[in-house]
Amino acid sequence: MNEIDKKIRMVQTKLNLEQDPTKRRKLSGDLAILQAQRKVEELKKRNQ
């Protein structure tokens, strides 16, 4: 498992435990960014 996958799993866990809507919104934004980064890395590997 690479670093981005570890960060994604950590953010997902925090998101599942969080009650405050403002913090949940921030965490879901962070999660979307990390998932986009993972997708970019996968595409780079595929295009090599």
Let me know if residue 48 belongs to a domain. Answer: no
The DSSP result for 13-47, as a single string, is HHHHH---HHHHHHHHHHHHHHHHHHHHHHHHHHH
pLDDT of residue 9: 97
Let me know if residue 31 belongs to a domain. Answer: yes
Let me know if residue 15 belongs to a domain. Answer: yes
What is the number of structural domains in the chain?
1
Q: Could you give the C-alpha distances from 17 to 6, 12, 23, 27, 46, in angstroms and in order?
A: 17, 9, 11, 11, 35
Let me know if residue 33 belongs to a domain. Answer: yes
Using DSSP, state whether 6 is helix, strand or coil: helix
pLDDT of residue 1: 67
Q: Position 45: which residue type?
A: K
Residue by residue, pLDDT tens for the chain (48 residues) are 689 999 999 999 999 999 999 999 999 999 999 999 999 999 999 998
Domain that holds residue 25: 3-43
